[in-house]
Structure 1
């Protein structure tokens, strides 16, 4: 049989208008609340249906057999007495409408107290509701813990919630079906059970606990037994005034020391205001906020967040029997903030979130499960923004402490015992577990509360200069020859930063918004300290560590201009060995010296010479540039032409023999073993090298320069080598010179073979 999906859309109960692409809704009381552009004013009625669980004969377990159901996306288990608890586990499994597959067993959190809003008639105890996504099948099992003597609470009931489709919701696969969709003609086979569940004997049923069909859950019920508490929880007393004394006669909410975050209004998430027609309860002030988690899953799309909030609203009202959604604010993992309990987000509206401490506090619930998973940074930032704004309305300090009066007796997760009527110290941003015996908001989110307090209270943390564009870093200092752009980062989200200032030598040179992370500066010549100062929304300031920036607009200098000289080494028709020398300095710090022609080389600031070769007979220009750390440059160059003078160009004296070989320059050389035989070359140049062949039997020569003996050179070598420049000398400038080579006639190895002379002009 095909059944119609139960989705009702009613007229809006609040007037809305779209201003600048942002939907603004006027709530029942209070000032306009912002929502996103997708929000619409049409309320969406959620369908909440209850099915009683079947309790075993010994009362130690209860179950709901695997079955098809009307569409739902959220579920929970409730029971009659709000002061009762389940002394064991509650689990459910569901079938996806999109895929038809069954989930594994999902635990339902039982660490909530149904008395949170004990002043309401018909309040029921319950598990935390769990978002499971669009589903059409369900199975439930409840088991008392081992050793438990208390039986399961009476009136166990599964409540499923279909939040309906809001105008801004995502389109889940399940909703792509026809409007009149229903179970398939061939129901899917049930998945195997994980374990036995005790059932009443065959044929025994309890009409009071297992009706044949699901039934819509009324908005209020009357099955709550008389309270066993000494009296109603003062934190939820319905005697609070209908207007907030803290707002004054005009009803104007108090201003805050922190800016108000963007908040999706109740109209924005399509709240069904017909669920609760009671007036909100107002308090004098908000002294603390309690952080919670809710919906028991992180596997949701942020496009579904509005539907989750609608589901929570319906569950809290129709399943728990509360007057409204328990939390004042809800935040999804993408950081979107939703208005919770009605009455005006800027008013001190009393919620139902922390049993015993609802008075003078606000509840912020993060949608998700954070026992083993940390909340996303977008979520923690939004929680901090809400906390800063809400506490700021009452001169609170998110990093400070305050005192709260216990409205009921109890204890918290750490074992601290509370006595009704006594005051206790709390952090102004606390976790649910600080006021009640629950793991909420989960160990990982609870560990993030110091971070949230820091975000909300300031100062800006983790402020660091990350870059100085237009400057070069050398060691711990930056060098620049022009203007710079300083970049920085902080671990505190930009939403909490009022402004940044760029400080040069302690003076502010630029001020930018908190969303900007760079600024330019003009520096005078000299050394400067550069810092960034951040101003938190609270007014607190913090300053980064300083970096040193040296402004230098003076170019380096070549104190020794580049120069060329011949050096020892192998000479051939394509390459003559030579040395390039220079010396560069800078007033601040030389970075390097670069040879740009005829080849490219880079030398460190302390290097003053390098070995190269040049082609003989070709004029070559050697170009160099010196760079300082700031990027200033100086250029210099030198030109030279190596010239080979073969032995035949010399004036001979004594006996010389011509030798032929391809190993010699020009294919020939002169050899002589005659004492005092000589060769004399005349040339005009600035550097000269004598070229000879070397062998184990080679002898010695005396060398005369411009008629003066300057050296005795031994050309003996353990290995034979040809075309070797074995002696060189240079002059400061080019001039006419003579070089004379005289055979010594060394005993036992008198012969010397010369391959000519090379000079540089």
Structure 2
């Protein structure tokens, strides 16, 4: 048999099966993956998981430095280093580089020396003697390693701790589904074989110093064989129970919670009802925890007073399909490498927001973990997979952490936004017995001298507290209708929309208030509601109610409900204006005035051309003489109600030949004049008079450098004197115009003023609108 993609040696001969049950982001369904051609793919798999720990003792230290030279190893995906005394606060650096099964060596990567002391002394029985350790580092499927450790210079930390040991964790593997199974390609028969054994690590001929014998401490875990395989329950998708019911206890525990604060082996009462729904959690059975290595029953406190947030350190570049394997690797590392009873954290969450059950005992019970040294009892913790020093956790992870924190604290009536006084159980950052005030949701560093959970994540704790305890970031994002300034306008219906930062699962309901009264109630998952409004001006608010009781409301938003259409006190009305005329063009002004009981939004001209204007106004344009044209307009208010108005107007030419004359007038003929001719006079007092019926009139003349003034009389009254002077000749110019509110019979008379030095006027007649 040939294994594609794996360096062949006598230690890999017996290893042919698939690796790792994984959590699919956003669900509790799991999948497994294989090696060979499928090394880069985590496919679907079934069956039990066999995890393993391989250890390599460091050679004797020479001064402040020690190395394990590059070497081949059994398969592993997580690496760390431990030492004998868990109380040693090791200062220095430990770097590793690993060989991936695809044949490439990684660069040097540091192991985090953020010492996690785990459980308090005597707080739990351990499977092996407790050891100090680095944080484990997920490196992916690997089969080679090189390590170097250096103690910090100066002070009391200028030497390496005793008993340094390299920890290589194989997080386990599952049998692949049969060939042709859904989601799995055709596989060779030999790749369906189970793992028969994991052979002891042996030094290669080129490795002179390191040996793979276990440390002499008899309490250290055996490392030569994988634990016995056990059949895990099939993954299931569960629905969170209502907030008023008690979440069912996992099958691994049936004892009730204690009545005192001291940890006990089994609870003495059932978990109290929880107002917060059970978060979606990948159970230990689903991520295929190795229950065979957890030999002691869980211990319990009496309550959950505080919730501590951690990060696991290591890489953020993992695939979320690997998350279950990472959690399984942490379990093996905490139990076999650190010597703890079980995985230390109560919960873990990956960068995709998938939550994993940590230490066994029931997610609804006050399980005592090994996460926050000196403050493990009566508190809970979650660890985010990865490092969050410069980059914070995304929203989906914030929501997951907030939900779990609210679930654990809310069950015992503890406010996630509150504070609590805790008593230190060890001499550490705080003295044994010292009382310390914490936020109910705190970071690991608040209790222990550590950088965990990283500066960026630590800076997000206030957001997590708000999301866990309040309707955080609630905003009314809009109302359907039209917005003008700060006011919305609609008919009788609108839809209110809102946004919120708090996870939907933590919101009991939303209430929509109109004028301060609740008119609609929605589920916590809703983000909109339809409303019916009476005529008039109203205010709209949205109020959110948190599962733990807090409420928050948006600022009031004004909306006007209006079904009354606008009106046209003055419809489209045509008036003549100054400008050039021709046989086809007359300059006119369109006037209108609309009104509304609330406010007109706009008026649109729809014929004979188009345009959009204000509620009232005047629009300069042109029209054809001698042609009746209909002018149509539509007014719209802010609520969308509309009204239309139309009027028809006809501009008409009256040539100078139709005027009644006094004095002496001559005739000019030219195509530049309307009708091909014009009348001219120079003697003062000469006049032309026209009679017409219409609502607007204008005087058309020619302007030249020798033209003088003319007096204009309307209905026998002098109304204007116009000067026809122009440095350049301008034919067919409207030099004066007048309009009335309605149509009527009028007389217009033009009288030559006899201006000194330029007495001449040249007239081309009148234009009126009827």
> What TM-score range do you get, normalising by the shorter chain?
0.7 to 0.9
Q: Equivalents in 2 of 1:274, 1:688: separation in Å?
A: 106
Q: Equivalents in 1 of 2:44, 2:505: separation in Å?
A: 23
TM-superposed deviation, 1:110: 3.9
TM alignment of 1:69-80, pairs within 5 A: 69-80=73-84
2:534 aligns with: 524
| 2:95 paired with 1:96 | no
Q: What is the TM-score of this pair, normalised by structure 2?
A: 0.82
Q: Equivalents in 2 of 1:263, 1:468: separation in Å?
A: 37
Which one of the candidate residues 143, 149, 153 is aligned to 2:161?
153
User: Greater CA deviation, 113-122 or 382-391?
Assistant: 113-122
Q: CA 1:75 to 1:651, structure 2 compared with 1: closer, same or farther past 3 Å?
A: same
- SS state at 1:739 partner: strand
2:664 aligns with: 655
TM-superposed deviation, 1:507: 0.6
Which one of the candidate residues 435, 440, 445 is aligned to 2:457?
445
| 2:142 paired with 1:135 | yes
Q: Equivalents in 2 of 1:408, 1:140: separation in Å?
A: 33
Q: CA 1:114 to 1:716, structure 2 compared with 1: closer, same or farther past 3 Å?
A: closer
TM-superposed deviation, 1:374: 0.8
1:500 aligns with: 510
Q: Equivalents in 2 of 1:450, 1:7: separation in Å?
A: 48
> RMSD over aligned Cα, in angstroms?
3.4
TM-superposed deviation, 1:404: 2.6
Cα contact 1:559–1:585 (8 A) shared by 2: yes
1:171-196, CA deviations, whole angstroms, 9 ceiling, x for partnerless residues?
Answer: 999x9998599xxxxxxxxxxxxxxx
| 2:115 paired with 1:111 | yes
Which one of the candidate residues 611, 614, 619 is aligned to 2:628?
619
2:475 aligns with: 464
Which one of the candidate residues 723, 728, 731 is aligned to 2:737?
728
Q: Equivalents in 1 of 2:16, 2:405: separation in Å?
A: 35
1:678-730, CA deviations, whole angstroms, 9 ceiling, x for partnerless residues?
Answer: 33334332222111001121123333444555444332233321111112233
Gaps of 5+ in 1: 13-20, 25-37, 182-202, 224-239, 412-416
Cα contact 2:98–2:145 (8 A) shared by 1: yes
Q: Equivalents in 2 of 1:41, 1:390: separation in Å?
A: 32
TM-superposed deviation, 1:740: 3.2
TM alignment of 1:630-649, pairs within 5 A: 630-649=639-658
- SS state at 2:465 partner: helix
- SS state at 1:666 partner: helix
TM-superposed deviation, 1:46: 1.2
| 2:171 paired with 1:163 | yes
| 2:285 paired with 1:267 | yes
- SS state at 2:281 partner: coil
TM-superposed deviation, 1:109: 2.6
Which one of the candidate residues 366, 369, 374 is aligned to 1:351?
369
- SS state at 2:336 partner: helix
TM alignment of 1:93-492, pairs within 5 A: 93-98=97-102, 100-113=104-117, 116=120, 119-120=125-126, 121-150=128-157, 151-166=159-174, 179=191, 210-211=210-211, 213=212, 221=220, 244-246=257-259, 252-411=270-429, 417-419=430-432, 421-458=433-470, 460-469=471-480, 471-492=481-502
- SS state at 1:418 partner: coil
1:166-217, CA deviations, whole angstroms, 9 ceiling, x for partnerless residues?
Answer: 58999999x9998599xxxxxxxxxxxxxxxxxxxxx9976xxx21x58799
Cα contact 2:17–2:191 (8 A) shared by 1: no
User: Greater CA deviation, 642-651 or 274-283?
Assistant: 642-651
TM-superposed deviation, 1:676: 3.8
Q: Equivalents in 2 of 1:94, 1:176: separation in Å?
A: 28
Q: Equivalents in 1 of 2:355, 2:692: separation in Å?
A: 92
1:490-537, CA deviations, whole angstroms, 9 ceiling, x for partnerless residues?
Answer: 232323221111100011111111111111111111111110010011
TM-superposed deviation, 1:660: 3.0
- SS state at 1:379 partner: helix
Q: CA 1:176 to 1:472, structure 2 compared with 1: closer, same or farther past 3 Å?
A: farther
Q: CA 1:696 to 1:214, structure 2 compared with 1: closer, same or farther past 3 Å?
A: farther
- SS state at 1:281 partner: coil
Cα contact 2:512–2:520 (8 A) shared by 1: yes
1:54 aligns with: 59
Q: Equivalents in 2 of 1:204, 1:96: separation in Å?
A: 19
TM-superposed deviation, 1:609: 2.0
Q: What is the TM-score of this pair, normalised by structure 1?
A: 0.83
Cα contact 1:166–1:307 (8 A) shared by 2: no
- SS state at 2:329 partner: helix
- SS state at 2:282 partner: coil
Cα contact 1:83–1:115 (8 A) shared by 2: no
Cα contact 2:93–2:110 (8 A) shared by 1: no
Q: Equivalents in 2 of 1:743, 1:306: separation in Å?
A: 104
Q: Equivalents in 2 of 1:167, 1:503: separation in Å?
A: 57
- SS state at 2:312 partner: strand
Cα contact 1:9–1:44 (8 A) shared by 2: no
1:45 aligns with: 50
Cα contact 1:41–1:267 (8 A) shared by 2: no
Cα contact 1:4–1:179 (8 A) shared by 2: no
1:26-79, CA deviations, whole angstroms, 9 ceiling, x for partnerless residues?
Answer: xxxxxxxxxxxx998843121211111223432x11111122322211000011
1:665 aligns with: 674
Q: Equivalents in 2 of 1:337, 1:527: separation in Å?
A: 47
| 2:588 paired with 1:588 | no
Q: CA 1:426 to 1:5, structure 2 compared with 1: closer, same or farther past 3 Å?
A: farther
Q: Equivalents in 2 of 1:332, 1:728: separation in Å?
A: 81
Cα contact 2:586–2:651 (8 A) shared by 1: yes
Q: CA 1:746 to 1:372, structure 2 compared with 1: closer, same or farther past 3 Å?
A: closer
The number of residue pairs the alignment matches comes to: 687
1:614-665, CA deviations, whole angstroms, 9 ceiling, x for partnerless residues?
Answer: 1111111111222222222222222111112223333444433332333222
2:37 aligns with: none
Q: Equivalents in 2 of 1:222, 1:599: separation in Å?
A: 91
Q: CA 1:741 to 1:435, structure 2 compared with 1: closer, same or farther past 3 Å?
A: closer
TM-superposed deviation, 1:751: 1.5
Q: Equivalents in 2 of 1:171, 1:372: separation in Å?
A: 37
User: Greater CA deviation, 531-540 or 735-744?
Assistant: 735-744
1:354-406, CA deviations, whole angstroms, 9 ceiling, x for partnerless residues?
Answer: 22221111221111111222112211211111111112222222122223332
Q: Equivalents in 2 of 1:760, 1:324: separation in Å?
A: 98
Q: CA 1:617 to 1:163, structure 2 compared with 1: closer, same or farther past 3 Å?
A: same
Q: Equivalents in 1 of 2:417, 2:378: separation in Å?
A: 17
Cα contact 1:40–1:270 (8 A) shared by 2: no
Cα contact 2:138–2:315 (8 A) shared by 1: yes
Q: Equivalents in 2 of 1:117, 1:103: separation in Å?
A: 38
1:27 aligns with: none
Which one of the candidate residues 562, 580, 591 is aligned to 2:572?
562
Q: CA 1:132 to 1:450, structure 2 compared with 1: closer, same or farther past 3 Å?
A: same
